[in-house]
Each structure stands twice: as structure tokens, then as C-alpha cells.
Structure 1
Amino acid sequence: MITRPQTDEYGEFYAGYIKRVPEGSDLLALLATQPDDLRALLSSQTDAQASVRPAPTEWSVKEVIGHVNDTERIFAYRTLRIARGDTTPLPGFEQDDYVRNTNFNLRALADLLSEFELQRRANLLCFKPLTDAEIDRRGTASGLPVSVRALLHIMAGHVLHHYESLKVDYKVQA
């Protein structure tokens, strides 16, 4: 069982994501179910509906899922590097620039969801065999300290954040 990270294992910026992960949860099981949960939530969305921005400065559902995919890649890369003992400080990224510099709305929602599912499945194959020593390793990302344990919680919490946002802010219902 991967325990909850201590506050010195991550920067305050990530606290909200970590708090979303239920206390005592089986983190790897939670990570494994998230692709199906997202797919079920978005099952009634058409491609046309998922391409609509609720406001000019807000992302469409497809852009949210595209952002989730981009972030999954970045967090997984950070996790791998730090777990392998690489202490090179890892740069941050500007999520709005990432979304602005591509067009997720031209893609099928089903493809975006499949991309997330495949990434997460591959990531879990990498994360499941991590030893306690690897999970305890720490590095720097976005100028902030972070442990592998914290990154795994952040990955789960990031998806939980967007799942809740889709339900509450976007009024998406399965």
C-alpha cells in the first residue's frame, strides 16, 4: 500500500490534488479505475457537445481530456526520472499554452479517452513494481520538491479534480 505523502514531499501548489485522494485508499487501484470512470461519465457526450467551450476562456470537454492526457505524460515522466534516481531538476509547463498550441476539438472524444486509458495502463505497469526505496525518492519538478509517492497521489488527484469539474462546472452526467 502506497501511503499518503507527508507535506514536505510536495509543494503547496499540489496539496489540493493530494487532498482529493481519499484517506486510506488503495492508490494503484484508484489509478486503475480512473479511465473507466472518465469514460462512463462522458458516455452520453457527443463529439459536437464535447467540442463546445462553456465560455471563451474555458476549455471544452475535449480540451479538458486532452489536458489530462498531456499532464499524465508529464507526471509519468517525472515519476520515472525521480524513481530511477535522477536528481536533475525538471521544468514546469504552462497548461494553457499546451491546450492553445494544439486542437483537441478536431479529435474524437473516444480517441482522447482511449489515449488516456492506454497511457494509464502503461504507467501502472511501470508503477506497480516500484520498491519502497523508489517510492520514497525525491526530486525537484517545477521548482518544487516532490517525491515519487507524492507524484502518484498528484496523478490520481489531478484526474479526480477534472472528473469533479466535469460533473459540477460542466454539468456532465453519465
Structure 2
Amino acid sequence: MKSDLFLKTAVLVIGIVVVVGVFVGFRVYDNQLEQIDRLKATIKQKDNQIALLETSNQGLDQEHQENEFEQITDAVNTFIYSIYDVREDNREQRQKDAELVVTKDMLERFFPKTEEENTLSMEYRIKDINIYPSVEKESALVVFEGSTVNLNNGQREDNRITVEAFLQNEGEKWIVNDFKQIHAEAL
């Protein structure tokens, strides 16, 4: 009988331990599920923040790139007009414009200080200009049409010129440090 009582007591204790263990196990399991749900919510919130920041960053990158394209286009446009749009009465203005968008070496090469005012027999007038900038290559491809005018007889010849302008970034502005005329054709 003692062994029977001992067996019943042992089964009862084991049963109580199992019930308590199951109860504690389920509480721990429920707590873990709650923590997992909170972590999933936090991860989702962080993912949303990352997506928002990436979208914002892409917008800023695109805005920055558009700003760079605009700056390059403005600099190259001024450069082309200051070098190629040669008229009888615009040398000083062309030089002032060139001072803003070319390196000092180029300025001295195209507008030397020792050069005297000459009377021109030919003018070149730009009509249409298309600029294709590349921030990565720090250059711009320029295609423009213009007219060469003989000032002595008024004869005019239309042509199209393709130029590659090479740039460098100085602070917040782009300046032209060299160029290469790629092609010229009569129209």
C-alpha cells in the first residue's frame, strides 16, 4: 500500500510538474510570439523608412543630376557663343562671357592681351545650338548651325559644326578646359 501511495504521489507530482511546465511553456511561447510580432512590426516600419529614404535620395540624385546638366549646358552654351559667334562689334562681350566659363589658359589662347583690335572681313553667326551634356565624362557634345558672312561682299555660307567640349568642375560651377571640333559640313 505504501508503494501504491508512493506511486500515486509520484504520478500526481509528475502530473503537476507537467501541467506547470506546459503552462509555463505556453506563456513563454506566447511571449515569444508577441515579441516576434513586435519585431516584425519594427522591421516593417524600418523597411518603410528605408524605402522612403531611397525614394527621397533618388529624387535628390535626379534633381542634382538635372542641376548639373543645366550648369553644364549653360557653361557650354556661353562658351560656344563666346568662341564661335564672332561679329565685328562683340569681341569685348565675348571675352567677358568667356572669362566666366573657360580656364585662364583657354582665355589667353583665344583672347590674348597683346592682340590688337583688327577689322574683320568675316563674321560667324550662330543660329541653332543643341547641347548634349555628360556629367560622368565631364564633357558635352555640341551641334550647332551657323553662317559665315563675308563682310566685304555680303556673301553667306551656312554650315553645321560638331564640337566636343571638355569640362572641369570648380566648386559649384563647370568651366570648359578644352574642346575639339569633330566635324564641320556645309548646308
TM-score after normalising by structure 1 = 0.25
Higher fraction of strand: 2
TM-score after normalising by structure 2 = 0.24
More relative contact order, 1 or 2 (CA 8 Å, 6+ apart):
1
